[in-house]
Amino acid sequence: MNLNQQPHMASPYAPPQPGYQMYPQPGYGAPHPTQQYAPYNGHTSLYQQGAPPAGYSPYSGFATKTYAANVLSDSFSSSPPNLGQGRAPPVSGAPPVSASDSYSQYAQGNVQNGPPSVPSQPQRPPVSQSYAPATVHPGTQPTYHQPYEAPTTSVQQITGHMAGMHIGGPAPNLAGSTYAPPPSSQPMSSAAFTSTGPPNYTPQLASASQPPSSMSMTPGPPPSMYGAPPTSQPSFPGAPTPPQSAFAGVTPAAPPVSQQSFPTGAPMSQPHYSSVPTSSSQPSMGGPVLQQPPFGAVPPASAQSQFPGAAQPPVSQPSPYHSVPPAAAAGFPPPGGATVTAPPRHPGMQGPPFANQSMSAPPASQPNHTGAGMPPGPPIGGVQGPPPQPGLQGFHPQQNGAFGQMRPPQSGYAAPYPGQQNFGIQPPPPAAAPPAQKRLDPDSIPSPQASETQPVQKTRHRIDPDAIPSPIQVIEDDKANKGSEPFITGVRGQVPPLVTTTFQVKDQGNASPRFIRCTAYNMPCTSDMAKQSQVPLAAIIKPLATLPPDEGPLHLVDHGEGGPIRCNRCKAYMCPYMQFIEGGRRFQCSFCSCVTDVPPHYFQHLDHTGRRVDCYERPELHLGSYEFLATVDYCKNNKLPQPPAFIFLIDVSYNAVKSGLVAVVCEELKTLLDHLPRESVDEESRIRVGFVTYNKVLHFYNVKSSLAQPQMMVVSDVSEMFVPLLDGFLVSVGESRVVINSLLDQIPEIFADTRETETVFGPVVQAGLEALKAADCAGKLFIFHSSLPIAEAPGKLKNREDKKLVGTDKEKSLFQPQVSFYGNLAKECVAQGCCVDIFLFPNQFVDVTTLSVVACSTGGSVYKYSHFQAQTDRDRFLNDLRRDVQKPMGFDAVMRVRTSTGIRATDFFGSFYMSNTTDVELAGLDSDKTVTVEFRHDDKLSEDTGAFMQCAVLYTSCSGQRRLRVHNLSVSCCTQLADLYRNCETDAVISYFAKHAYRTVLSSPTKNVRDVLVNQCAQILACYRKNCASPSSAGQLILPECMKLLPVYLNCVLKSDVLQPSAELSLDDRAYLRQLVSCMDVAESHVFFYPRLLPLQKLDVEGDALPVAMRDSEERLSRAGLYLLENGLNLFLWVGSAIPQDLLHNVFGTASFSQIDPNMTSLPVLDNPFSKRIREIIESIRAQRSRYMKLMVVKQDDRLEILFKRFLVEDKNSSGGASYVDFLCHMHKEIRQLLS
Amino acid sequence: MATFQEFIQQNEDRDGVRFSWNVWPSSRLEATRMVVPVAVLFTPLKERPDLPPIQYEPVLCSRATCRAVLNPLCQVDYRAKLWACNFCYQRNQFPPTYAGISEMNQPAELLPQFSTIEYVVQRGPQMPLIFLYVVDTCMEDDDLQALKESLQMSLSLLPPTALVGLITFGRMIQVHELGCEGISKSYVFRGTKDLSAKQLQDMLGLTKPAGTQAGRGPQVPQAPPSNRFLQPVQRIDMNLTDLLGELQRDPWPVTQGKRPLRSLGVALSIAVGLLECTFPNTGARIMTFIGGPATQGPGMVVGDELKSPIRSWHDIEKDNAKFMKKATKHYEALANRASANGHIIDIYACALDQTGLLEMKCCANHTGGYMVMADSFNTSLFKQTFQRVFNKDVQGSFKMAFAGTLEIKTSRELKVSGAIGPCVSLNAKGPCVSENEIGTGGTCQWKICGLDQNSTLALYFEVVNQHNAPIPQGGRGAVQFVTQYQHSSGQRRIRVTTIARNWADAQTQIQSIAASFDQEASAILMARLAVYRAETEEGPDVLRWLDRQLIRLFMFHLRRSPFLQVFNNSPDESSYYRHHFMRQDLTQSLIMIQPILYAYSFNGPPEPVLLDSSSILPDRILLMDTFFQILIYHGETVAQWRKAGYQEMPEYENFRHLLQAPVDDAQEILHSRFPMPRYIDTEHGGSQARFLLSKVNPSQTHNNMYAWGQESGAPILTDDVSLQVFMDHLKKLAVSSAA
């Protein structure tokens, strides 16, 4: 770690703390200053250019390999490694493999291919992502094919890698089967390279024109490679060396490595390169050439890095490029041209990728990929891009710059050239020097093993943050590659686009990723494999997720009086996986293999393929998600349910009245009640409503329509709660409108002079529960609560906040409820179908831990508005409330997940209650709630049939209809670890890890929890390294493409407020976050842990695209910039102190920085395009999140900034959280320990 | 001197007293031998339209243990401005205000005709009257409607300053806050949990009465105190009327085979608690309207399963009434709390089945409240009775009085043993308290929370003078009754009645003693004693005791009355009858024991006839008044005539008159009586005729064949002994015991 640590980073963080108290909602803030602005900006701009280019799906693929690449060569400095791999670039292309070897030799090169980009998005991505992906996909695959091919490609690559590695065998097969190309590639690989190199190419080839590619690739690249490498190497040395001086040994080594790698791997890789390389590595090649010049100067490196990015593309397009490449090599432009024509993207991609690759570890990465089974990377294949990053840090930095540029290039294939040019340009900006230094560090990284001290000593030698896998890169690559084509769910085991990518889904038999996302789409066949890999097997299910309008609502199927057709044994519901046999008279369950008779009314003949003739007329036979109409057998007490009810329980104690809460709620309810959820067929909602206010006692209201005025019924005996009235408490809004309005008008008046400060809480929930019991219906309680319930009543709490316990073994007690009362109450609520939503408005400790128990067990939500003041927090609260009231939801739900024999759902996370081990009981289930299910093997799975899971949710709709929603998902099963690593989703893994860890804090000290997380992560990566990556020096960090972001994200989890709180953070805030995370979906958890940082100063006011996000680091922020940061809960607008006058004027309407009001919660409405656009962006971001985010304006160097910096998660933070670079080093060390 | 009859009558009219003996035997021994103790039926607030209240306070004897009030029997030294207390012989100085006193200028209290005099206490605030309605909502809609109307009507009868409150109950109990604008507000309690006054105070937010409006400071003695739950009629008249109008039948579903859940026990407890913590020691009426038995919570008298019927006498005897003891205990506790604070509990029970009066009787009995039993709120019996509660006297004030205490002072030779009536002991020991307790004894002060002009207490005395300490000839014993009460105008008043009777030596003056015997008063006094014992002892034991005591003719009817006989009566009815017997004055009590029977025929003017089966003749119309029932019985022939419609024919106008006569008389009785009697119009063979047949002396039954088939009378099919047999037996007994 130390190695990585960059002093700069650290220093900035230190100060943060003070800030918190200031903020009403301390929750999250963590400021990170970003340093390198320039590059980004560049990127951005570049991007824009590049963006258009297109899909870089390949990137991810690249990424994977990238690491490898990175890993490999110090010289190449695989992207991640930033460490030493500088050289990689040259190598990158093909060399990777070889590179890796070489690296290994160099040992030092712990090259960290950081680029976990595989599936995920390497930050560096720019390089890797853009390149590899772009090229590959675009070129090769038509929409449809892409998926397939892509995979195949990946497979092939994998295989190739495999081959190179050890795995080779199976993968190839797959590949082979799928693609003709593979063979060719394989040969290549196998023959030429044991290592990855080939595969990548192959894939590319496969996708594109293999022969040509291979052909061209081989020839071209090698030369270039070689030629380039050397060059590059030299350059690297130059750059790195200085830094390395510290590492001295290392550096030197690196260069050699790279060179060596080239030589060794080179052959292998080169061939690839020749084929692919040209494109990918070649780009490097070609790029190299070009780049080389750059290399000479660090900047060039960056340029190259870009290339690497391009390189990948090359992969896919290699062939075209190849041809071109040469030319390109000479002059990028040509490639560009080429790219454009053939696989535009590719070219672009290639160019950059290569650059990257070449730069960083491309070589390494590639090799890795190849060897490693960069598999994931089919797309990735090309991906090695990431490696590029690794590409000596120096490069990275450059790359960063490059990346920015890179992308642009990517976008415009032609761009590549430009990109290159850019690079050229950028290089300068990169401030070559710094990067270079960083690169040096990389070198040092390898040494981590040796000693941590070194790093310190060699402070100068920093790992270049730009060289390590960049989330932004991965995200952007994925967008480019997968965003344009609909995601067809028909194919088993394919990894869906990232959550950050906007895409359309076509349901062809598997549930949309909007409903279910898995951590792994290729499940290990055996538990041994699963255990070995340590990759969690989990599905993150959002059963009632809202679908975009163009995907339409789910079909409702009615099987008549008998109810849905189900398997006799396991009770699985009819789904596309059921096999009809005996002419359609019976069907065999795909989950348990039991044969069941088809009821006569459901009988249908089979066609010649064995499918039912009516297959496409029945949603349950060809869709992944659909609903059944449930019969009375599925209802409580065998009685059709009543329409549900909403009960509003409003705290009217002194605090609540004074803060304006009561008035705000009452006013809002008047209009909000018109928007209760309803079925589209209904005129008005059938949900009934009831009202209760309370302080120390409860007030129920009779609002029966026949009354002239509402009646208030006070229940002061709170020790045993009961509902004082039956008739008139729950009413239809339409009928009782007048009385309700009268009531809502009066409530604020009645309590305007209250002096009651004490409140109760337990009885409030009981009251709602009893009311629902009395009405015999399910429903939801909305509790608006202000303070710790200290009044004498059941569920009375005391203030127990004790900061001294933080960090001790007793800390866990803080996360446990202080009384068991609420747990028991929650059980009763669940039994009745009473969902509880809690809105908290505390001015001090309210014990969220204890209060939220009820919400967390009933499928409810908790909202917290600390120090609520009507004028400032009104919008946030009301928007949340509106959304909460209006969102579609089901009541009294039971969810059951059935799986193929062989695996079993063993653990569940989320807001629900379980009275047995299989049924997830949700008193309420809304469209935002997610349930995470962990699977364990209890037998073997079959590779042939894959694994199936069926998630069935029985619930009562808002109109009182009982329904069953069924989601089916099939995933592949694998016997090769490489397949597993190639088909997993880092975001989902992180989401699972976070939920698991957040639950474990209940029973273990947070330190242990963190250690376990780090350890498991290290094991995952070590397993990959050991089993899937091509053999290489132990000093190399090789990351699977799909998981290259695992370290950075994991680090975010580790230093999240729950696991590592800052001193100012209140217990309530931590508890609040803890329960929030438990039911987040992948998209939410992703942005929560890795906030989105958008630069606004160079906004394109015309278009409607969001600016490309930046990495969360303070050093990337420009003093002259304006940035928007959001994590789903908080929204900051950071204003640099040197913000240009016109910007200041356009946005804030003020003349000077000092005149900006830090308390504003919305931007002034100014009539200029810039202001408009910014406000639009803010609105659109808010619209994306399930909770409304209050805007906080943070001025640079203002007190608030400390809060803000906590969100710059790549930086070190005040409470001891490591910076990304440091953590990566640490991770690398862990892995090495595991390996040795 | 006139006859004793006149003397007695005069005394009753003036002082509201009826002594069993009007000349007292002068020694304990002799008094004991006379079996009937020296006792008095005292009607403290005997209506005296001719008695103007005196606007000053009484002069008290200065001896701390005496504190008797200056009265006409005191010897006064006009010169020295001294007076001697006639009970303790203490000599007292007249207060300065009496400076002008002289033989020619005597204050009223010294005038003999003012043996009963009423003072008005000027000190202290005038307390408003308080009426707290406790209304059951578990009843049929038309019943509830009728009740609501009655209640709304009652508001108009209340003085504008009176405070009213409303508590409704069913499964839950609602305490309504009055006078809320725009929203009606009530506090709700569950019916299964009893609350102490303290808890209630907290829950109703009464701890800081000034909390919301008057600001800080302890209860300010300003204005008439009121709170959110009890407010002046004038202020919340409309509000309360609306509130009552919107009262709904208890909305909780009652499944088949169940009784509605009725939380009467807790509702009453809350009512008592509410008044306890807001208006202690102030006159207040808790008027409870119930449509059925309490079925849950403390005070429940029956479960909610219809298949288990409410307890009967049979169950009670078999010790099979599982809720009775607990419920009785609950209500007794309430009664004690209420009476300690001077609050009255009225019970208006209207249901066909029993409602648990047996368990709740103490509430009314101890507090001087009314107990009214009817079949439905939608009957004139209830409506008129309820209306009559608010009857006013000539001065326009209610005939009811509140929070009274009765204190008795006696001459040395006499001590008070106890009282029987709607009162509770105040446990005031004093020199005039006897050690022998009869009824509620051991005290010389009783609390009578609610009293009206008919409320009558039976007070029993003991002659303590020893035989060897003869009283000089012409000596007189005196008794002073001091009744303090809150007049319905809000004033505190003190009514003092002082009477004196001669002592006589039973050995020498037995004639005069015998002549002074008041047969009617004695009968009632003994009957009260019997009923009192019947309440606490087994029925047959009491009968046996009664038999052993002096018996006169009319004890025959007493033995057959519902006061002692529980056969054919539900426990509730028994309680109801006994309740009224214990508080009515002599005349009414007599009627209760021996109903009056009038006969109407063409043979002459209406005449009272023997309460005997022989009085039932075909051509007669009989009017029977049993106090609780007014029954008109048409003889067989008359009934046939009536059926034939003769009364419609002008030529038979006399028949119409004959038919009308008893009805008019009945109306007259109905108008004057509280509670309203059940009015029954029946005829020979009618089912309701059973009321008559069960009362008359069965002189002719299927057993005594000699009467069978005779022209006169109607045979009664019963095995009960007839008066004839009873008397025969009695005579035998008297002789044998004398022997």
B187 has a chain A CB within 8 A of its CB: yes
Taking only the tens place, the pLDDT of each residue in A474-526 is 999 999 888 888 999 988 888 999 999 989 999 989 999 999 999 999 999 99
Mutate to test the interface with B, among A652, A654, A711 (most CBs of B within 10 A): A711
The minimal CB distance from B187 to the residues A708, A714, A755 is found for A714
Distance from CA of A668 to the nearest CA of B (A): 20
Beta partners for residue A579, in sequence order: A588
Q: Is B253 within 8 Å of A742 when comparing Cβ atoms?
A: no
Q: Which residue of A has its CA nearest to B195?
A: A717
Q: Is B205 within 8 Å of A716 when comparing Cβ atoms?
A: yes
> Which residues 754-783 of A are in CB contact (within 8 Å) with B?
755
| A308 or B112, higher pLDDT | B112
A710 has a chain B CB within 8 A of its CB: yes
Half-sphere exposure of residue A291, counting CA atoms within 13 Å on the CB side?
60
CA distances to B569, B613, B701, B705 from B718, rounded to whole Å, are: 17, 12, 7, 13
The residues, any chain, with a CB within 8 Å of residue A1221's CB and separated by 6 or more, are: A4, A5, A6, A9, A82, A441, A462, A463, A465, A468
The minimal CB distance from B212 to the residues A715, A717, A753 is found for A753
Average pLDDT over residues A452-468: 55
Q: Is B186 within 8 Å of A711 when comparing Cβ atoms?
A: yes
Q: At A101, which amino acid appears?
A: D
Q: Is B649 exposed, middle or buried (0-12, 13-18, 19+ CB in 10 A)?
A: exposed
pLDDT at A59 over 60: no
Taking only the tens place, the pLDDT of each residue in A715-744 is 988 888 888 888 889 999 989 999 999 999
Looking at A333-347, A656-670, A978-992, B11-25, which range is the least confident one? A333-347
pLDDT at A40 over 70: no
Beta partners for residue A837, in sequence order: A782
| Residue A92 near residue A436, CB atoms below 8 Å | no
Taking only the tens place, the pLDDT of each residue in B346-382 is 999 999 889 999 999 999 999 999 999 999 999 988 9
A508 has a chain B CB within 8 A of its CB: no
**Angstrom distance (rounded) from CA B464 to CA B477:** 12
pLDDT at A219 over 80: no
Q: Is A305 exposed, middle or buried (0-12, 13-18, 19+ CB in 10 A)?
A: buried
Cβ neighbour number for residue B333 with a 10 Å cutoff:
16
> Which residues 250-269 of B are in CB contact (within 8 Å) with A?
251-253
Q: Is A716 within 8 Å of B180 when comparing Cβ atoms?
A: no
Q: For chain B, what percent of residues have pLDDT higher than 90?
A: 28
Q: For chain A, what percent of residues have pLDDT higher than 90?
A: 35
Beta partners for residue A731, in sequence order: A689
SS3 content of chain B, % helix, strand, coil (to 5): 35, 25, 45
Q: Which residue of B has its CA nearest to A722?
A: B190
| Residue B116 near residue B86, CB atoms below 8 Å | no
Taking only the tens place, the pLDDT of each residue in B385-416 is 898 888 888 778 888 889 899 999 998 889 99
**Angstrom distance (rounded) from CA A257 to CA A645:** 70
Buried b (16+ CB within 10 A) or exposed e, A858-893: bbbbbbbbbebebeebbebbbbbbebbbebbbbbbb
CA angle A282, A288, A289 (to 5 degrees): 110
Q: Comparing C-alpha atoms, which of B350, B377, B345 is closest to residue B361?
A: B345
Q: Is B248 within 8 Å of A708 when comparing Cβ atoms?
A: no
Cβ neighbour number for residue A531 with a 10 Å cutoff:
14
**Structural tokens at position B223:** 């204005």
Q: At A99, which amino acid appears?
A: A
| A277 or B559, higher pLDDT | B559
Mutate to test the interface with B, among A700, A704, A709, A739 (most CBs of B within 10 A): A709
CA distances to A101, A474, B31, B166, B180 from A1044, rounded to whole Å, are: 20, 9, 117, 75, 68
Q: Which residues of B touch A697 (CB under 8 A)?
A: 203, 205
CA distances to B131, B134, B136, B403 from B288, rounded to whole Å, are: 10, 5, 8, 18
Confidence band of B520 (pLDDT split at 50, 70, 90): confident
Mean pLDDT (chain B) is 85
Cβ neighbour number for residue B659 with a 10 Å cutoff:
19
pLDDT at A111 over 50: no
Q: Which residues of A touch B195 (CB under 8 A)?
A: 717
Task: Give the per-residue pLDDT at A483.
Answer: 84
Confidence band of B617 (pLDDT split at 50, 70, 90): confident
**Angstrom distance (rounded) from CA A372 to CA A376:** 10
B245 has a chain A CB within 8 A of its CB: no
Mean pLDDT (chain A) is 70
Task: Give the per-residue pLDDT at A442.
Answer: 36
Q: Is B211 within 8 Å of A755 when comparing Cβ atoms?
A: yes
A742 has a chain B CB within 8 A of its CB: yes
Average pLDDT over residues A98-110: 38
User: If residue B241 lies in a helix (H) or strand (E), which one and from where to where?
Assistant: helix B233-246
Q: DSSP assignment of A379-435, as one string?
A: HHHHHT-TTTTTSTTTHHHHHHHHHHHHHHHHHSSTTHHHHHHHHHHSSHHHHSHHH
**Structural tokens at position A1198:** 């203002």
Residue A517, helix vs strand vs coil: strand
SS (H, E, C) B562-619: CCCCCCCCCHHHHHHHHHHHCCCCHHHHHHHHCCEEEEEECCEEEEECCCEHHHCCCC
The residues, any chain, with a CB within 8 Å of residue A713's CB and separated by 6 or more, are: A699, A700, A701, A702, A724, A725, B174, B185, B186, B187, B188
A1149 has a chain B CB within 8 A of its CB: no
Q: Residue A397: is the preceding peptide bond cis (ω within 30°)?
A: no
Task: Give the per-residue pLDDT at A25.
Answer: 41
Task: Give the per-residue pLDDT at B466.
Answer: 84
| Residue B415 near residue B462, CB atoms below 8 Å | yes
| Residue A1093 near residue A1123, CB atoms below 8 Å | yes
Taking only the tens place, the pLDDT of each residue in B461-482 is 999 888 787 777 778 889 999 9
Task: Give the per-residue pLDDT at B548.
Answer: 63
| B674 or A106, higher pLDDT | B674
Q: Which residues of A touch B296 (CB under 8 A)?
A: none
Q: Is A753 within 8 Å of B203 when comparing Cβ atoms?
A: no
Q: Which residues of B touch A750 (CB under 8 A)?
A: 183
Distance from CA of A723 to the nearest CA of B (A): 9
Q: Is B242 within 8 Å of A746 when comparing Cβ atoms?
A: no
A717 has a chain B CB within 8 A of its CB: yes
| Residue A410 near residue A53, CB atoms below 8 Å | yes
Q: Which residues of A touch B180 (CB under 8 A)?
A: 712
Q: At A704, which amino acid appears?
A: K
Task: Give the per-residue pLDDT at A91.
Answer: 36
A711 has a chain B CB within 8 A of its CB: yes
Q: Is A713 within 8 Å of B252 when comparing Cβ atoms?
A: no
Looking at A191-205, A646-660, A785-799, B434-448, which range is the least confident one? A191-205
Residue B191, helix vs strand vs coil: coil
Buried b (16+ CB within 10 A) or exposed e, B574-613: bbbbbbbbbbbbbebbbbbbbbebbbbbeeeeeeebebbb
Taking only the tens place, the pLDDT of each residue in B131-166 is 999 999 999 999 999 999 999 999 998 988 899 999
Residue A144, helix vs strand vs coil: coil
pLDDT at A1056 over 60: yes
Q: Is A714 within 8 Å of B188 when comparing Cβ atoms?
A: yes
Q: Is A716 within 8 Å of B189 when comparing Cβ atoms?
A: yes
**ipTM for the predicted complex:** 0.84
| Residue A311 near residue A399, CB atoms below 8 Å | no
pLDDT at A649 over 80: yes
**Angstrom distance (rounded) from CA A294 to CA A278:** 18
Task: Give the per-residue pLDDT at A142.
Answer: 39
Confidence band of A1020 (pLDDT split at 50, 70, 90): very high
A712 has a chain B CB within 8 A of its CB: yes
The minimal CB distance from A711 to the residues B183, B205, B253 is found for B183
User: If residue A359 lies in a helix (H) or strand (E), which one and from where to where?
Assistant: helix A345-359
Q: Which residue of B has its CA nearest to A725?
A: B251
Taking only the tens place, the pLDDT of each residue in A1155-1185 is 888 888 888 999 888 888 999 999 999 998 9
Q: For chain A, what percent of residues have pLDDT higher than 70?
A: 63
pLDDT at A121 over 90: no
Looking at A340-349, A703-712, B434-443, which range is the least confident one? A340-349
| Inter-chain CB pairs, A–B, below 8 Å | 71
Distance from CA of A766 to the nearest CA of B (A): 14
| Residue A302 near residue A435, CB atoms below 8 Å | yes
Q: Is B251 within 8 Å of A715 when comparing Cβ atoms?
A: no
The minimal CB distance from B185 to the residues A707, A714, A720 is found for A714
Distance from CA of A794 to the nearest CA of B (A): 15
Q: Is A713 within 8 Å of B204 when comparing Cβ atoms?
A: no
Q: Which residues of A touch B253 (CB under 8 A)?
A: 726
B184 has a chain A CB within 8 A of its CB: yes
**Structural tokens at position A90:** 């040259």
Q: Which residues of B touch A743 (CB under 8 A)?
A: 183
| Residue A1038 near residue A1032, CB atoms below 8 Å | yes
Q: Which of A261-265, A320-324, A612-616 tops mean pLDDT?
A: A612-616
DSSP class of A128: I
Task: Give the per-residue pLDDT at A485.
Answer: 86
B188 has a chain A CB within 8 A of its CB: yes
Task: Give the per-residue pLDDT at A693.
Answer: 94
Average pLDDT over residues A849-875: 91
Task: Give the per-residue pLDDT at B559.
Answer: 78
B66 has a chain A CB within 8 A of its CB: no
Q: Which residue has the tokens 């892409």?
A: A146
A715 has a chain B CB within 8 A of its CB: yes
Mutate to test the interface with B, among A716, A723, A746, A792 (most CBs of B within 10 A): A716
